[in-house]
């Protein structure tokens, strides 16, 4: 069983993505802290895609799919078309650098890599699929 | 999605964040802190008691003020964080870089100590 939620690439739609994740995972994740972590990691991934790959163009579409696997594993897939934004090619910046440069970005990638067990990318035709896995 | 209420108490400017801060709403937090600084407040408290969610965009706003506050000798203290929100700060190790206290009184006390 796969749960799907599709949005236009506008930052205003992040709230809908978070509500979809909370609604789908409730009953599977019993800790508020862990549920929030998963919501956070996916919000960060979608924000990055919306901003960097789609320049906040609401006509571009992005889909989040959630699948429950055996062994308490959940697989999240973020599917879009366009230029790929591969977080594995980015190093998490040093915190002291962020403070000195007064940068407001760069923390999200660190969060995703810390929270998720794996982040992988594949292509299917024109589609980029970012697959994140998490053992509950 | 996010409301930021302001109130002044004993010379502190208290910004109460209500709701969720993400990449679309982090600008509200940024503007609220900038306004407080612009109005000359030296001790700013951030009431996180009704903050339900914060993403890296919101955390980045707090980070971006660290140096400015140090240079201008201003103090910012966060208080009342829910466990799920506090966990987000901890994952990134921000608890060591920002001033965070449990309740308002402790936050005021720390702000007074740091600005003395």
Each residue's pLDDT tens digit, A27-78: 899 899 999 999 999 999 999 999 989 999 999 999 999 999 999 999 999 9
Print the domain residue range for A20: 2-135
Triad A29, A34, A39: Cα angle to 5°: 90
Q: Which residues are bridge partners to A65 per DSSP? A: A4, A77
Specify the pLDDT at position B14: 98
Chain B residues whose CB is inside 8 A of the A104 CB are 26, 30, 57, 60-61, 63-64
Chain B residues whose CB is inside 8 A of the A15 CB are 1, 20, 22, 24
Residue A39, classified by CB atoms within 10 Å of its CB into exposed (0-12), middle (13-18) or buried (19+), is buried
Predicted confidence (pLDDT) at residue A104 exceeds the cutoff of 60: no
Distances (CA, A) of B40 to A3, A9, B6, B79: 50, 39, 14, 21
The structure's pTM equals: 0.93
- Read off the CATH number of the domain in which A73 is found: 3.30.565.10
Does A50 contact B94 at a Cβ distance shorter than 8 Å? no
The shortest C-alpha distance from B14 to chain A (Å) reads: 22
Per the structure, the count of domains in chain A is 1
Specify the pLDDT at position B26: 95
The number of beta carbons lying within 10 Å of the beta carbon of residue A12 is 16
Does B22 contact A106 at a Cβ distance shorter than 8 Å? no
Per the structure, the count of domains in chain B is 1
Q: Where are the beta strands (DSSP E) in chain B?
A: 2-9, 12-21, 43-54, 75-79, 99-101
Print the domain residue range for B97: 2-115
Residue A102 CA to residue A98 CA, distance in Å, equals 6
The number of beta carbons lying within 10 Å of the beta carbon of residue A6 is 14
Q: Which is more confidently placed, A88 or A132?
A: A132
- Read off the CATH number of the domain in which B81 is found: 3.30.750.24
Measured over the CA atoms of residue B44, residue A44, residue A34 and residue A91, the dihedral's sign is: negative
């Amino acid at each position: 069983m796969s749960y799907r939620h599709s949005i236009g690439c506008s930052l205003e739609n992040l709230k809908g993505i978070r509500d979809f994740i909370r609604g789908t995972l409730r009953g599977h994740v019993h800790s508020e802290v862990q549920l929030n972590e998963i919501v956070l990691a996916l919000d960060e991934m979608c924000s990055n895609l919306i901003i960097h790959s789609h320049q906040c163009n609401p006509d571009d579409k992005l889909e989040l799919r959630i699948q429950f696997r055996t062994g308490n594993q959940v697989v999240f897939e973020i599917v879009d078309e366009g230029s790929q934004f591969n977080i594995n090619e980015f190093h998490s910046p040093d915190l002291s650098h962020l403070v000195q440069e007064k940068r407001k970005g760069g923390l999200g990638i660190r969060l995703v890599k810390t929270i998720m067990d794996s982040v992988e990318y594949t292509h299917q035709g024109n589609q980029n699929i970012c697959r994140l896995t998490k053992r509950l | 999605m996010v409301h930021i209420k302001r109130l002044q108490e004993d010379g502190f400017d208290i910004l109460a964040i209500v709701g969720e801060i993400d990449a679309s709403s982090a600008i509200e937090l940024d503007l609220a802190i900038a306004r407080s600084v612009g109005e000359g407040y030296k001790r700013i408290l951030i009431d996180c008691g009704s903050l339900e969610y914060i993403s890296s965009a919101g955390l980045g706003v707090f980070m971006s003020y660290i140096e400015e506050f140090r240079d201008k000798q201003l103090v910012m203290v966060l208080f009342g964080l829910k466990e799920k929100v506090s966990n987000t700060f901890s994952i990134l190790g921000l608890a060591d870089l920002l001033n965070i206290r449990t309740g308002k009184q402790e936050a005021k006390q720390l702000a007074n100590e740091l600005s003395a």
